[in-house]
């Protein structure tokens, strides 16, 4: 007995000694946002020390399809995956390399891509979630166009997160980047701190832009307007600024609808994105523009950009300058390879303080679209920058079907290294899914977006028309919530500071954590009251607010 208790006290002592290590190992794994976009002479160390990969699992030699054998993968676990990749073929300088996964049950065509080069290492970051567990799976790398190219991989890593761990990591990031600690001090004019003062704090404005597309259907529709204003602080016109809407016939420019929509915006303290100046998809250009070429097109393009931007200078927070340029090239085909560069330069001269955005689909939604990989987006941005474009932002449309959340986060990580404004600009979930599935996946995407430290705003693509919405409506025609609307309402409630009521302590102070935004404070002590306002902007230190009573 005695020996046993001695052993137990030794064990307790030992555990205490080792407690930092034990705490760390029992704690959730911290998600690692690290990403690289430069090709490096040597690969960096693997994230998470390789995670659950054993060194012997890694192939030693370059092959046309290096592969890892993975055992005992579990369903619904979020697997974050990364690797350094290099081309070893003498006849090829670069290739798009795709990582894919085959389990006993399913094939995942793309769990990550990288624009790999010969002579240096490039960083691939992606991930996956399985629908069914798999005791044996093959993760392999191939050139995406099927060419035989020797590929070397190094510093490969696979880190699993349970749903709870993933969720707690999101919550940690939300606390860190969307909230801040506030300390309110109350004293009187003699400099005495006042204890027991009743404090009431209300958040009256949210900083994080969260909104939706609107359509001209909102004009004159008071129910739609108040529904919108109660929820959102950001908007974008679904179609009403597009060239085909403002100039359906040559020379017949008409901004009546856009002007009326802007009046609604201005009257309600909403920020608006300017969408879009040009659209590279030929079929969305006015028919008469599709018929133009050479100097005629040049002149039409100049007239469009001058007219639009002189009228709306300083009204829109962003301009989508050249919509969907990774997939289409209407203007480059007709005006030469620098057409987009020219648009950006003209837009910048016309509205120097607006942020000029690229806006693209299938960069974030999937990695299976070879036209719009994260690396091709980045290299297009760098190209424009080299051409002299001075301000730019990253627009990610976000038209999802079933989202791959670890991949989505990995892509945001990679784009985040550019340190540019980055927004989700057109979020919805495909109408091929049930309303319930749309709601479920919408919540996943919105949480992922709001908790990502590099994301600056979120727009839904849910403009309401009598016959429905593009892919997903939040409500029916009478503004009764559909499942997706319930999700949005519940997140809007979660991402705002609830009314705070309390009393100052013996130091005359009271503290709380609040979402970034604007606040009204009232304090009351006996029959004395005072009111104040303050703004809570991003910052790592506690915001101190002093009120005199």
Give the pairing of strands 517-525 and 509-515. unpaired
Strand partners, 404: none
Residue 379 sits in the site that holds ligand NAG (CB under 6 A): no
Measured CA distances, 299 to 243, 289, 295, 306, 356 (Å)? 14, 11, 6, 11, 22
With CB under 6 A as the contact rule, the residue among 196, 220, 248, 336 that binds ligand NAG is 336
Residue 248 sits in the site that holds ligand NAG (CB under 6 A): no
Site string for ligand NAG, 67-86 (x = CB under 6 A): ----xx--------------
Give the pairing of strands 198-206 and 500-503. antiparallel
Q: What is the DSSP string of 20-62?
A: HHHHHHHSPPPP------S-BSSPPPPGGGGBT--GGGS-SS-
Residues binding ligand NAG: number (CB under 6 A) = 20
Residue 538 sits in the site that holds ligand NAG (CB under 6 A): no
With CB under 6 A as the contact rule, the residue among 227, 288, 470, 479 that binds ligand NAG is 288
Measure the CA–CA gap between 125 and 157, rounded to whole angstroms: 9
In the region spanning residues 100 to 159, those forming contacts with ligand NAG, defined by CB under 6 A, are 135
Measure the CA–CA gap between 543 and 511, rounded to whole angstroms: 10
At its nearest, how many Å lie between ligand NAG and the CB of residue 286? 8
Name the segment binding ligand NAG (CB under 6 A); options: 83-91, 333-341, 446-454, 490-498: 333-341
With CB under 6 A as the contact rule, the residue among 220, 248, 337, 539 that binds ligand NAG is 337
DSSP strands (E only) in 238-334: 271-274, 278-279, 318-320, 322-323
Burial class (CB in 10 A: 0-12, 13-18, 19+), 489: middle
Query: Which member of 247, 365, 426, 448 is catalytic?
Result: 426
Three-class secondary structure of residue 538 per DSSP: coil
At its nearest, how many Å lie between ligand NAG and the CB of residue 292? 9
At its nearest, how many Å lie between ligand NAG and the CB of residue 209? 28
Identity of the residue, 386 or 419, whose beta carbon is nearer to ligand NAG in the bound complex? 386
CB atoms within 10 A of CB 81: 25
Identity of the residue, 98 or 451, whose beta carbon is nearer to ligand NAG in the bound complex? 98
Measure the CA–CA gap between 199 and 523, rounded to whole angstroms: 5
Burial class (CB in 10 A: 0-12, 13-18, 19+), 237: buried
Query: Which member of 247, 280, 324, 365 is catalytic?
Result: 324
Residue 529 sits in the site that holds ligand NAG (CB under 6 A): yes
Question: Whose structure tokens read 């002007």?
Answer: 259
Measure the CA–CA gap between 234 and 516, rounded to whole angstroms: 15
At its nearest, how many Å lie between ligand NAG and the CB of residue 210? 27
The pair of structure tokens assigned to 249 is 């016939």
In the region spanning residues 482 to 521, those forming contacts with ligand NAG, defined by CB under 6 A, are none
| Residue of 71, 98, 78 whose CA lies nearest to 407 | 78
What DSSP designation does 276 have? -
Residue 531 sits in the site that holds ligand NAG (CB under 6 A): yes
Strand partners, 96: 115
Identity of the residue, 290 or 417, whose beta carbon is nearer to ligand NAG in the bound complex? 290
Site string for ligand NAG, 421-460 (x = CB under 6 A): ----------------------------------------
With CB under 6 A as the contact rule, the residue among 62, 257, 391, 440 that binds ligand NAG is 257
Name the segment binding ligand NAG (CB under 6 A); options: 106-114, 124-132, 301-309, 332-340: 332-340
At its nearest, how many Å lie between ligand NAG and the CB of residue 24? 23
Q: Is 397 considered catalytic here?
A: no
| Residue of 501, 548, 540 whose CA lies nearest to 181 | 540
Q: Is 436 considered catalytic here?
A: no
Q: Which residues are catalytic?
A: 324, 426
The binding site for ligand NAG (CB under 6 A) comprises 71-72, 135, 254, 256-257, 287-288, 291, 327, 336-338, 341, 371, 387, 522, 529-531
């Amino acid at each position: 007995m005695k020996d046993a208790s001695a052993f137990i006290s030794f064990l307790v002592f030992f555990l205490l000694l080792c407690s930092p290590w034990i705490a760390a190992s029992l704690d959730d794994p911290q998600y690692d946002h690290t990403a690289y976009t430069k090709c490096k002479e040597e690969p960096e160390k693997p994230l998470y020390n390789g995670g659950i990969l054993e060194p012997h699992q890694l192939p030693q030699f370059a092959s046309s399809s290096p592969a890892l054998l993975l055992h005992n993968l579990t369903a619904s676990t979020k697997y974050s995956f990364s690797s350094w990749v290099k081309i070893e073929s003498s006849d090829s300088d670069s290739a798009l390399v795709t990582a894919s996964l085959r389990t006993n049950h399913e094939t995942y065509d793309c769990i990550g891509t990288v624009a790999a080069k010969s002579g240096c290492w490039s960083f691939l970051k992606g991930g996956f979630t399985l629908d069914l567990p798999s005791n044996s799976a093959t993760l392999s790398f191939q050139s995406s166009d099927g060419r035989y190219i020797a590929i070397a991989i190094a510093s490969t890593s696979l880190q699993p997160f349970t749903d709870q761990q993933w969720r707690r990591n999101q919550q940690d990031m939300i606390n860190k980047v969307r909230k801040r600690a506030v300390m309110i001090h109350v004293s009187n004019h003699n400099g005495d701190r006042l204890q027991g003062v009743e404090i009431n704090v209300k958040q009256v404005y949210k900083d994080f832009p969260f909104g939706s597309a609107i359509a001209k259907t909102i004009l004159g529709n008071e129910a739609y307007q108040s529904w919108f204003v109660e929820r959102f602080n950001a908007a974008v016109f679904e179609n009403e600024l597009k060239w085909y809407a403002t100039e359906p016939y040559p020379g017949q420019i008409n901004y009546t609808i856009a002007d009326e929509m802007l009046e609604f915006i201005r009257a309600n303290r909403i920020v608006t994105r300017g969408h879009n100046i040009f659209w590279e998809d030929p079929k969305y250009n006015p028919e008469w523009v599709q018929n133009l070429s050479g100097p005629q097109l040049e002149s039409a393009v100049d007239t469009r950009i001058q007219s639009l931007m002189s009228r709306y200078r300083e009204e829109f927070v962003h301009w989508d300058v050249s919509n969907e340029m990774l997939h289409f090239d209407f203007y480059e085909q007709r005006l030469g390879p620098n057409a987009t560069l020219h648009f950006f330069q003209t837009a910048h001269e016309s509205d120097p303080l607006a942020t000029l955005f690229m806006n693209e689909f299938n960069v974030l939604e999937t990695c299976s679209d070879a036209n719009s990989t994260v690396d091709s987006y980045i290299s297009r941005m760098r190209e424009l920058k080299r051409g002299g474009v001075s301000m730019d932002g990253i627009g990610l449309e976000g038209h999802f079907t079933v989202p791959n959340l670890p991949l989505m986060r990995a892509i945001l990580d990679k784009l985040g290294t550019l340190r540019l404004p980055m927004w989700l600009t057109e979020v919805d979930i495909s109408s091929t899914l049930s309303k319930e599935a749309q709601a479920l996946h919408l919540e996943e995407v919105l949480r992922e977006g709001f908790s990502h430290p590099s994301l600056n705003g979120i727009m839904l693509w849910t403009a309401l028309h009598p016959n429905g919405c593009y892919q997903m409506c939040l409500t029916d025609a009478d503004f009764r919530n559909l499942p997706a609307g319930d999700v949005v309402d519940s997140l809007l409630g979660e991402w705002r500071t609830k009314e705070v009521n309390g009393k100052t302590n013996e130091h005359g102070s009271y503290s709380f954590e609040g979402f970034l935004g604007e606040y009204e404070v009232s304090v009351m002590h006996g029959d004395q009251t005072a009111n104040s306002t303050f703004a809570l902007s991003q910052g790592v230190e506690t915001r101190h607010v002093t009120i005199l009573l």
